């Protein structure tokens, strides 16, 4: 076992657990098996991860008396309500009981889907997250949001279901493609902008090549999980401050939805969204332009896009009106008022938003 393992405690009304971060943390699952004294585990494992890391995963679970595996196909389209029904049938046919534990091994799609199964199966069974993408390590595995998609929209049906433990083993990231690494970096940079100063300093002191070392990635995951934990502990169910985690997402989701999720990754959309919302923060009189400029240059240093031509501002405005964060026809934003000083649930007049969207996107910047 590698010595460099760090633990982030997360304490919420829905459950207390550790996020265990480092290299070689998956073997710690054996400890948990003894603690849980449960006799059956259902592994919900992403097919790509199984292909790349199957031997390692089988070794870690080899000592378990009874485990069943469900292979989760690749792709957001499988995180669906329809697919969940099939998976519930599989859990039942496989003898998974109320005393069993589901273990999600994969990215955010697998974690959200398996977490949703765990929240509902037999009125709730326990879940362990083993995130294998950077995005899942820094964001989706922490905080208990689980959901599946309907054809009408993403994450429409879901729950808050906190895990027993999160085992974030950065060894998995060795096989992660660059575009997926950038998706995770976008969310980690978001944490740096909205409040985690040591993470901001770490990003500031590195670049895209140096950040890819396992030690530095482990620190990115640790600092991100620590920051997200501090927010979720204050507001588990997003009644207030948790909304700051939506920084960059109001515009980001509108971009994804306008482009029908084609030709753009979530990380690219969030990064473009952060660039637009930084500018909006400046024009709303909250943020100093020089600081916004530093943030934009930081995004660019990590190959995260901050400009894109030809996105129709009115189209984006229409998509924002359908967003979960819209109320009374006005889009609400998480904005920055300085380093680590986010303002959440801020209604911004349409003309101010449209002006930013035209300048950042329609004209190509
Ligand atoms: P993903 O789960 O689809 O994984 C991305 C790709 O990486 C997949 O093709 C997968 O097969 C591959 N992959 C995974 N681990 C790998 C590894 N170690 N090596 C090589 N390839 C690997 O996508 P994601 O970006 O991890 O997660 C996105 C999902 O997370 C979305 O559904 C989003 O809604 C959800 N999400 C949830 C929360 C939350 O709080 N619950 C937060 C943010 C995002
Ligand atoms: N990803 C945002 C949240 O967990 O609230």
Identify whether residues 45 and 139 lie together within a single domain: yes
Can you give the pTM of this predicted structure? 0.96
Q: What is the pLDDT of residue 330?
A: 75
Position 112 in a domain: yes
Identify whether residues 171 and 247 lie together within a single domain: no
Closest ligand 2 atom number to CA of residue 187: 1
Kindly give the pairing relationship between strand 153-160 and strand 145-150.
Answer: antiparallel
CATH code where residue 91 lies: 3.40.50.1970
What spacing in Å lies between the alpha carbon of 259 and ligand 1's midpoint?
Answer: 20
Identify whether residues 166 and 21 lie together within a single domain: yes
The string of pLDDT tens digits covering residues 257-303 is 999 888 999 999 999 999 999 999 999 999 999 999 999 999 999 99
Question: Is 53 known to be catalytic?
Answer: no
Position 221 in a domain: no
The string of pLDDT tens digits covering residues 51-84 is 999 999 999 887 777 889 999 999 999 999 999 9
Ligand 2 neighbourhood includes 190 CB (under 6 angstroms): no
Residue pair 127/14 in contact (Cβ under 8 Å)? The answer is: no
Residue 328: pLDDT band with limits 50, 70, 90? low
Q: Which of 175, 205, 226 is the last residue of a domain?
A: 175
Identify whether residues 168 and 264 lie together within a single domain: no
Strand order in the sheet with 6-12: 6-12, 15-22, 165-169, 126-131, 101-106, 41-46, 67-72
Residue 96 has pLDDT above 70, yes or no: yes
How many CB atoms neighbour CB 249 within 10 A? 24
Ligand 1 neighbourhood includes 138 CB (under 6 angstroms): no
Domain extent for 42:
6-175
Q: What is the pLDDT of residue 35?
A: 58
Catalytic residue chosen out of the listed positions 6, 38, 145, 332: 145
Position 218 in a domain: no
Residue 365: pLDDT band with limits 50, 70, 90? very low
Position 59 in a domain: yes
The Cα 22–Cα 222 span in angstroms is: 8
Position 219 in a domain: no
The string of pLDDT tens digits covering residues 118-164 is 999 999 999 999 999 999 999 999 999 999 999 888 899 999 999 99
Exposed/middle/buried for residue 241 (C-beta within 10 Å: 0-12, 13-18, 19+): middle
Position 189 in a domain: no
Q: What is the pLDDT of residue 1?
A: 42
| Lowest mean pLDDT across 71-75, 76-80, 104-108, 318-322 | 318-322
């Amino acid at each position: 076992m590698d010595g460099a393992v760090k633990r982030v405690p997360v304490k919420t009304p829905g459950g207390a657990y550790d996020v265990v971060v480092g290299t070689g943390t998956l073997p710690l699952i054996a400890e948990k098996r003894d603690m849980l004294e449960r006799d059956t585990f259902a592994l919900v494992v992403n097919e790509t991860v199984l292909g790349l890391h199957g031997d390692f995963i089988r070794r870690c679970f080899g000592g378990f008396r009874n485990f069943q595996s469900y292979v989760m196909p690749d792709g957001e389209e499988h995180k669906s309500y329809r697919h969940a029904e099939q998976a519930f049938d599989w859990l039942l046919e496989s003898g998974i009981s109320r005393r069993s534990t589901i273990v999600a091994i994969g990215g955010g799609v697998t974690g959200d889907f398996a977490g949703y199964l765990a929240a509902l199966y037999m009125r709730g069974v326990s879940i362990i997250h083993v995130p294998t993408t950077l995005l899942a390590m820094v964001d989706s595995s922490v905080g208990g949001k689980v959901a599946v998609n309907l054809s009408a929209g993403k994450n429409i049906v879901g729950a808050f279901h906190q895990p027993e433990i999160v085992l974030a083993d950065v060894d998995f990231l060795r096989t992660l493609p660059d575009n997926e690494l950038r998706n995770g970096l976008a969310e980690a940079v978001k944490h740096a902008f909205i409040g985690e100063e040591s993470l901001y300093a770490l990003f500031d002191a590195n670049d895209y090549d140096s950040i890819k070392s396992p030690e530095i990635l482990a620190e990115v995951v640790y600092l991100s999980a620590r920051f997200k934990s501090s927010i979720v502990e204050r507001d588990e169910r997003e009644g207030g401050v948790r909304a700051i985690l939506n920084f960059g997402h109001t515009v980001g989701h509108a971009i994804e939805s306008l482009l029908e999720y084609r030709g753009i990754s979530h990380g690219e959309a969030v990064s473009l969204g952060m660039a637009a919302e930084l500018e909006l923060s400046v024009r709303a009189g909250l943020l100093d332009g020089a600081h916004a400029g530093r943030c934009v240059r930081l995004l660019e240093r990590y190959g995260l896009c901050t400009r894109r031509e030809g996105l129709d501002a009115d189209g984006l405005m229409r998509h924002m009106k359908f967003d979960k964060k819209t109320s009374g026809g006005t889009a609400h934003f998480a904005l920055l008022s300085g380093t680590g000083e986010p303002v959440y649930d801020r209604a911004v007049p349409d003309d101010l938003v449209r002006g930013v969207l035209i300048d950042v996107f329609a004209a190509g910047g």
